[in-house]
């Protein structure tokens, strides 16, 4: 008999305040339209969809200071998301968050990390998302959530959920990085964060990368969060993202990574972000997200 499958709660966060290119607020709808709930149900999970959090409409607000655009609004949504996930985990359900831009990870991590003595984190992304208001080239907060989780950044951001830091550098891995800002490189060096660039994936192969990644995120931890930005994949496979970077992880490599993560049986929460249907081709990227979610939750060919 197989193990009892933890029930799943889906939350959509139609956030586009953290990004420059519009349309990513439609990401949760696009992923639902690609039949995410049906996919999970077909794998034997009991699934509830809690709908979308309320996110302010960009046109209704002034962006505020250039280095931290829409800070107040993003903080409010992050607090709401943290509370929502806190309740899901208390009900012993698995939180699956659909974005929205990657700034939502500030609230996601705040909500789930409080339930762990020490949480591991897999950051699947073309970017480091390790900027602060002092290093950001754009002022877009979707380039800051990993730094915020580590306790670096504006006090309003790092104290979401009432505690900081949420995560520790020695239990984080970034997979798929191929575009890092100078300030991010500096923080990576200082904090000794393990980054698997595309160069590493090409040289080592994804299986070796995931073996090492899993060792890092499970060393002394009592849970692992997956934060997967669809721009980690090559734009040929996932064109509908706001900040595409050529030369990314292939569709098949992504599935292998997530199949290995599923087999390790350590994942306690997950989010899939930066699906932008306006930039997409017939909802391809959302369909890829749903296929990857299938792999995370144990779907196999045979």
> What tens digit of pLDDT does each residue of 16-32 get?
999 989 999 999 999 99
- Spatial CB neighbours of 62, under 8 Å, sequence gap ≥ 6: none
| Sequence ranges of the binding site | 102, 125, 127, 129, 229, 231
Residues of the chain with pLDDT under 70: 1-3
High-pLDDT (> 70) share of the chain, %: 99
> Are the C-beta atoms of 225 and 109 separated by less than 8 Å?
yes
Q: What is the pLDDT of residue 2?
A: 56
| Sequence ranges of the binding site for Mn(2+) | 102, 125, 127, 129, 229, 231
Q: Compute the distance between CA of residue 115 and CA of residue 140 in angstroms, rounded to an integer.
A: 29
Q: What is the pLDDT of residue 3?
A: 67
Q: What is the pLDDT of residue 175?
A: 98
Torsion of CA 207, 211, 212, 213, to 10 degrees: 90
- Partner residues linked to 11 by β-bridges: 97
Domains, the chain, with CATH or none: 8-296 (3.40.800.10)
pLDDT tens-digit profile of 255-287? 999 999 999 999 999 999 999 999 999 999 999
pLDDT tens-digit profile of 199-208? 999 999 999 9
Q: What is the pLDDT of residue 211?
A: 98
Q: What is the pLDDT of residue 301?
A: 80
Q: What is the pLDDT of residue 199?
A: 98
Q: Compute the distance between CA of residue 125 and CA of residue 230 in angstroms, rounded to an integer.
A: 7
Q: What is the pLDDT of residue 1?
A: 47
Q: What is the pLDDT of residue 4?
A: 84
Catalytic residues: 102, 125, 127, 129, 142, 229, 231, 274
> Are the C-beta atoms of 158 and 148 separated by less than 8 Å?
yes
Give which of 295, 275, 274, 296 is closest to 285, Cα–Cα: 275
């Amino acid at each position: 008999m197989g193990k009892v499958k933890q029930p799943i709660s889906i939350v959509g966060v139609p956030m586009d305040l953290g990004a420059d290119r519009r349309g990513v607020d439609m990401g949760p709808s696009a992923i639902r339209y690609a039949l995410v709930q049906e996919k999970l149900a077909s794998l034997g999970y009991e699934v509830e969809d809690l709908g979308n959090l309320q996110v302010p409409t960009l046109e209704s607000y002034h962006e505020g200071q250039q280095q931290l655009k829409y800070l107040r609004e993003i903080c409010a949504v992050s607090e709401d998301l943290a509370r929502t996930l806190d309740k899901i985990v208390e009900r012993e359900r698995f939180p699956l968050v659909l974005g929205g831009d990657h700034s939502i990870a500030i609230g996601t991590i705040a909500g789930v990390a409080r339930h762990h003595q020490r949480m591991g984190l897999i950051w699947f992304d073309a970017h480091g998302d390790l900027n602060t208001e002092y290093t950001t080239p754009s002022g877009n907060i979707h380039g800051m959530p990993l730094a915020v989780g580590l306790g670096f950044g504006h006090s309003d951001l790092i104290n979401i959920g009432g505690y900081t830091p949420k995560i520790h550098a020695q239990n984080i891995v970034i997979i798929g990085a191929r575009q890092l800002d100078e300030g991010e490189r500096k923080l990576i060096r200082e904090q000794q964060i393990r980054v698997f660039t595309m160069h590493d994936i090409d040289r080592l192969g994804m299986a070796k990368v995931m073996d090492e990644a899993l060792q890092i995120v499970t060393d002394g931890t009592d849970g692992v969060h997956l934060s997967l930005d669809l721009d980690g994949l090559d734009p040929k496979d996932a064109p509908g993202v706001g900040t595409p970077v050529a030369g990314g992880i292939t569709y098949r490599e992504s599935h292998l990574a997530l199949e290995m993560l599923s087999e390790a049986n350590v994942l306690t929460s997950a989010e899939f972000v930066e699906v932008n249907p306006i930039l997409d081709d017939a909802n391809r990227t959302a369909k890829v997200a749903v296929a990857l979610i299938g792999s995370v939750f144990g779907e196999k060919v045979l």
